[in-house]
Amino acid sequence: MAYLAGMVGDDMEIITLLKANIRHKKGSFLSVILLTLIVAMSVTTILSIKEGAGKGILKAHELVDTPNLWIKYYAQKLTNQMIEEVKNDPRVAKVEVKDCLIGNKAIINKEEYTNSFHLMKAPEDTKLLKEDISDIAEDAPILRKGEIYVSQGLLTSVHGKIGETVVIETLAGNYTFRVKGICLEPMTGASVIGWKIFYISDADYAEMETAIAQKETDEEHAIGKEMNIYKADTCKLTDARFRRQLNRDTGVCNMGFGSITKDMSIHYTALFPQIIASILMVFIILLLGIVLIVTVHSISVEIESNYVTFGILKAQGFSTNQLRALFLFQYLIAEILGSSFGILFSIPVIKGTVNIFAPITGIPAVVSVPVLTILLILLALFLLSGISILLVTAKLSSISPVRAISGVKKEIYFDSRLNAPINQTLLSASLALRQFTAAKRRYISTFIIVTILVFFMMTISMLSNTFTSKSALYSMGAMIEEVVVTPKKQLTDQEYASIEKQIERFTKIEKCYYYRNVYFSFDDEEIMGQVFKNPEVLPAIKGRMPVYDNEIAVAQSLADEFNLTIGDEVSIGLEDKKERYLISGTVQLMTDTGRSFVISYDGAKKLGQEGWLFSCYSLADNKDKDKIADALNKRFGDIMEARTMDGMLDDTFEIAIDSMRLIIYVFSIIFSLVVVQMVCSKAFIGERRDIGIYKSLGFTCVKLRLQFAIRFFIVAILGSLLGSGLCFIFSGKMLSVLLYDVGITNFVTKFDMQTLLFPIFIICISFFIFSYLASGRVKRVEIRELVTE
Amino acid sequence: MKHTILSAKGLCKSFAHNGGQLHVLSHVDLDLYEGDFTVIMGASGSGKSTLLYALSGMDRATAGEILYNDRDLVKMKEKELAKLRYTDFGFIFQQMHLVSNLTLFENVAVPGYLNKNHSAKEVRQRSDELLEQMSVSHIKTHLPAQVSGGEQQRCAVARAVVNSPRLLFADEPTGALNRKNTTDVLNLLTELNHDGQSVLMVTHDMRAALRANRILYLEDGKIVGELTLPPYHPEEEKSRETQVNAWLTSLEW
């Protein structure tokens, strides 16, 4: 500050000049305010939504008093001895054991939900959400017979709503309920978590339990228990370590068929808001970069075009530092004003969007603005901006009063090697090209800005393309399941062959997966294992997929978490059996967000896991998939059940990516508009004389405006080419880093003409149209101004 | 009988000034004739350049009419005026005003290209001939900033006549030149006029005015005097100067 005070001095001269400058150059001033406003508003909104979602999740866990470890069991597997053993463990504060019914298929809103779920008696203190999921409802009416409470995440997955019918398939037949309300279920209520809890009335529960108990056999069970384990205050272990150590000492997880810790639940529930916020924040940081570029460009052109004025000011006694301070204050004032308005305007935006992730998390967000983080980011912008301004204004020291006043300044135009001849047929275009090549420096900032915008627009288009392209998903190891066959018994190879022959009467099978997901103990940690009969169907990132029964392939993120590499051995257990397996390769798995591994059917058999496997098919042409499922059910209905799935991207992913794409495109277009407006204004000032000359030669306003627009079009094309190149090289790596948390460690980029051309088209056309509009002031240049110059 | 090429009637031009109107031209009536070298003289602020710009259609008159080929320039659309500039009119500025990023050759050729009556080859040939005639062909690939003011102005003359305009307007074309360059440019204009080019030039330079066969004197936005002279011959310059001087003195110049 002392330096700044020294630059300004004690007099009012700088303030007078500052006021005059702002009044005279309203366009630049307002543009910087607008750009900073957009950035500040975006930063505030995105960070607030992210924090609001996170705090909402924590608040919900507190409100429902969720356990640190939640384990589900088939009832006969959970013994009193084990419960006592856990209760007596010094790391455990409290244990709750609750009865439940286990289901695997529910039909809601005509959509099937085929993940594992629990039916439980609704507790007295059930917390319900308001219908718009904006908050906790004031009361939860006691459920009557035929009524059910479900979590929002489930409704989002099946596009359901309150009042719709839920059909639950059980061993004892189908039971029909009506959705009475949405319950707050922070542990598994998010749409990204597969397990779900349904609450039903005591009367329904009793009736179903009795009926199911009568139908249970040694092979088929549906009556379960869930154990909620709360850590003692004295236990300082993380939830993951707590589960690992407790399981190692008591085998409490090994006996269950699934468990989740509170930390994991929070991580999974908040995953989506975090990833989307991260991607958008990268974009916003690039926009911050654009604000800096625009500021530097604007100052640079201003110095060039007001060379004489600065010379006169120097002749009157202004020092270089005072002139630098003039710029510094002018732009910092604009940025501070823009940031302040941005924060102010973000308040209604935050209120309107804070709950945007609630359909995915199933939890209402809390309105919370991370003031400190936002201020730090904006301070960083001011600081970087200040440094850039001081650097770019250093050239003011080279202006000498005498040289400036006598007009001895550097010629703006230089002979260029890139000069193309002026062509009669393409007169406007060739003149536009000349204007561009003669003053390339003027367009460098625009070029960089286009590069940044195109890079990001292309990256987000590519993200969407990859998730909708089968070939890209195959190479990423994603499983595309369009027809899923659930056997009713262990099928023979011949039966599988008959099923596939039936499918191939309609279309070719591109990929088929014979697998089942089972939770194993993986070095004493409960990890999802995908038991594959044909593990070679998935591509290994490194090494190879398991061939022998003592091999496994682990997801890259699991390998990173456990610090494992190819050739290492791990201990894998299931219930009371344990074996050692060699890691033969790494693979990309999105199941359980990458905390999973692949084991061969023979390998799992060693642990006693030899149940039936799903057979899932990805079809060459999926238009007949419903017909295929019908045909299979008709012909093989006694041994299997076939159903269809979307196969590609999950709806939630698709909506999120489309929303991000929309945000990024809209912001890019707004930035293009402001940047073009600003750069055009500066270019216009520099070329006012030439415009007058062209007019005197007989060029019409339309022709001159077209020349202006063509120049920006050329810059947009060149910037787009570099942006595309950078996208080719870096976007895959960038997305692998950003999507690491969902298990994508090796993002396979999928380019097509649309990915390439659409963003380029949008940006180039925006630049062309906006520069044409911005050059409207050409009309106002009278030729007689050439005389009065 | 001379053929009228351009005719102005009741021409007025006002500018907004300090909340009121500043009347620069006040009901000017004027005929310009084919083949004439007409000069407009007058004191600073008399409205010479304003009249020139209004007559050439570079600026809109506030009232009155300017007839060219039976059409009123005042009522013409921007597109029609633009076309007139590259087909029928040529213009030379005091400050040359060459496009800074085009070479001298390109500066001359561009208005030629704009006029689609000639092929690109013909335009290039004509530009070369004109640059040769103006003695700047050896520097035709230079940018304006790389040549002298006189060379720039000679190039500007070539540019103004590349489309063989019916009427050449010149706004103090020698105002920014030294003595030698002034003579060169005036010789070029005289030569063009002797070849049949109609010229209307604004100047307050006596030497430039001597080249005209008709001099109009403007005062407070009105034409207050007119002098007709025989065509210019260098050997008669002295007597011509005396005649013009006497006339100007009578007008209290």
- Considering the domain boundaries, does residue B243 fall inside one? no
- Chain B residues with CB-CB distance to A under 8 A? 49-50, 53, 58-59, 78-79, 82-87, 91, 93-95, 97-102, 106, 109-111, 113-115, 119-120, 123, 143, 145, 159, 171
Query: In this predicted structure, what is the pLDDT of residue A787?
Result: 54
Closest residue to A422, CB basis, from B113, B119, B171: B113
| pLDDT tens column, B10-63 | 999 998 877 788 889 999 999 999 999 999 999 888 999 899 999 998 888 999
Looking up tokens 């100007």 gives B248
- Considering the domain boundaries, does residue B25 fall inside one? no
Amino acid at B170: A
> For residue A123, how far is the Cα from the chain centroid?
36
| pLDDT tens column, A274-332 | 888 888 888 888 888 888 888 888 888 888 777 777 877 777 777 888 888 888 998 99
- CATH architecture of the domain A474-648 equals Beta Barrel (2.40)
- Considering the domain boundaries, does residue B114 fall inside one? yes
> Is the CB of residue A598 less than 8 Å from the CB of residue A553?
yes
Closest residue to B113, CB basis, from A427, A438, A690: A427
Residue A236 contacts by C-beta under 8 Å, 6 or more apart in sequence? Answer: none
- Considering the domain boundaries, does residue B125 fall inside one? yes
For the residues of A225-266, what is the DSSP string, one character each?
EEEEEEE-TT--S-HHHHHHHHHHHH-TTTTSSEEEEHHHHH
Q: How far is A280 from chain B (nearest CA, A)?
A: 42
* A325-360 CB burial, b ≥16 within 10 A, e <16: bbbbbbbbebbebbbebbbebbeebbeebbbbbbbb
Q: How far is A557 from chain B (nearest CA, A)?
A: 58
Task: Say yes or no to pLDDT of B229 above 90.
Answer: yes
Looking up tokens 């007019």 gives A695
Whether the CB of A694 is below 8 Å from some CB of chain B: the reply is yes
HSE of A522 in the Cβ direction (CA atoms, 13 Å)? 26
In angstroms, the CA A147 to CA A168 distance is 12
3-state secondary structure string across A6-48: HHHCCCCHHHHHHHHHHHHCHHHHHHHHHHHHHHHHHHHHHHH
- Considering the domain boundaries, does residue B147 fall inside one? yes
For the residues of A57-123, what is the DSSP string, one character each?
HHHHHHHHT--SEEEEEEGGG--HHHHHHHHT-TTEEEEEEEEEEEES-EEETTEEE-S-EEEEEPP
- Under 8 Å CB pairs connecting chains A and B tally to 84
In angstroms, the CA A515 to CA A534 distance is 8
Which residue numbers in chain A have pLDDT < 50?
A: 1-6, 8, 408-415, 789
Residue B179 contacts by C-beta under 8 Å, 6 or more apart in sequence? Answer: none
- Considering the domain boundaries, does residue B117 fall inside one? yes
Picking from A331, A339, A453, A484, the residue whose alpha carbon sits closest to that of residue A393 is A331
Interchain CB distance below 8 Å, A422 and B84: no
Interchain CB distance below 8 Å, A692 and B94: no
Bridge partners of A166, per DSSP, are: A108, A177
Element (H, E) at A340: helix A320-353
Tokens read off for A751: 């380019």
Closest residue to B85, CB basis, from A415, A427, A696: A696
Q: Which residues of A touch B84 (CB under 8 A)?
A: 698
Interchain CB distance below 8 Å, A698 and B115: yes
Q: How many helices (H) and strands (E) does chain A have?
A: 25, 22
- Domain locations along chain A: 1-66+268-410, 67-267, 425-468+650-789, 474-648
> Is the CB of residue A374 less than 8 Å from the CB of residue A285?
no
Domain that holds residue B130: 89-164
Signed CA dihedral, B140, B146, B150, B156: sign only? positive
In angstroms, the CA A711 to CA A246 distance is 69
HSE of A393 in the Cβ direction (CA atoms, 13 Å)? 26
Strands A111-113 and A106-108, by their bridges, are antiparallel
Signed CA dihedral, A521, A522, A527, A528: sign only? negative
- Considering the domain boundaries, does residue B158 fall inside one? yes
In angstroms, the CA B208 to CA A68 distance is 100
Closest residue to A422, CB basis, from B59, B98, B110: B110
- Count: domains in chain B: 1
